[in-house]
Amino acid sequence: MIMKKTVLLTGATGNLGRAVTEHLQEKDYHIYAAVRAGGRLTATATLTPSVVDLSDEIAAASFVRNGLETFGHIPHAVLTVGGFAMGHARDTSATDIEKMIQINFYSAWHIIHPLYRAMEEKGFGRIVLIGARPGLEPDGGSAMLAYTLSKSLLFSLAGALNAESRQSGVITSVIVPSVIDTPANRRAMPDADFSAWVTPRAIAEITAFALESRDLREPLFKVYGKL
């Protein structure tokens, strides 16, 4: 079975992942979704969920391989899995940094490593990563050092991948949100101006644009809302 608009999506049960799933289904994509153990996602005609531990390199590679065998080619990937932690430099341990890198970087790399190779062989691919403003502007991330460091790696990865694949048709985009309007963020910052934040739907729409563009090169989308 070959579906021209198949997209591999991680974090499908999260606030952002759900918005991306809904929007891409509206645009006739078939979602091949990585779901963590205990995650609830029902298979439909446009959604194929699979339980996978993205911290496990072998398990993630198997997930990608199974998807390629099922769909023939996976030309699109949106990697939304991530985590957040506060902590100044004086309070941050190596273990704290390793945890954030595992969640925010390796969860993406374990998918990209096998999938990127397959995309290059086909001569086409679109990968979308979810960065963070502190990862791009570290002076704003002093109170969240481990998180800032882990997200900064995604920008370096995207740059390296785009440099390597200039002739192959594989393009890696990074979407850089400021604060995303989620229930968890509202609970954490009840006195904030929610109207200044970025909605998951807005990020989903930009994601679709990144997947569908043929002419972008080394794209980085700053989605800061009114902040």
CA dihedral 22, 27, 28, 34 (to 10 degrees): -40
Q: Which residues pair with 9 in a beta bridge?
A: 33, 78
| Domain assignment present for 60 | yes
Burial profile 149-171: b = 16 or more Cβ within 10 angstroms, e = fewer:
bbbbbbbebbeebbeebeeeebb
Q: In this predicted model, what pLDDT tens digit does every residue of 139-167 receive, in sequence order? A: 888 899 999 999 999 999 999 999 998 88
Q: What CATH number is given to the structural domain containing 186?
A: 3.40.50.720
| Domain assignment present for 13 | yes
| pLDDT in the model for residue 94 | 97
Radius of gyration of the chain (CA): 17
CA distances (Å), 19 to each of 11, 29, 84, 125, 145, in order? 11, 13, 19, 22, 28
The predicted model scores a pTM of 0.94
| Domain assignment present for 173 | yes
| Domain assignment present for 1 | no
The mean pLDDT of the chain is 93
Q: In this predicted model, what pLDDT tens digit does every residue of 120-140 receive, in sequence order? A: 999 999 999 999 999 999 888
Q: Which residue segment(s) compose the domain that 47 sits in?
A: 6-223
| pLDDT in the model for residue 215 | 81
Q: In this predicted model, what pLDDT tens digit does every residue of 51-75 receive, in sequence order? A: 999 999 999 999 999 999 999 999 9
- What is the count of structural domains for the chain? 1
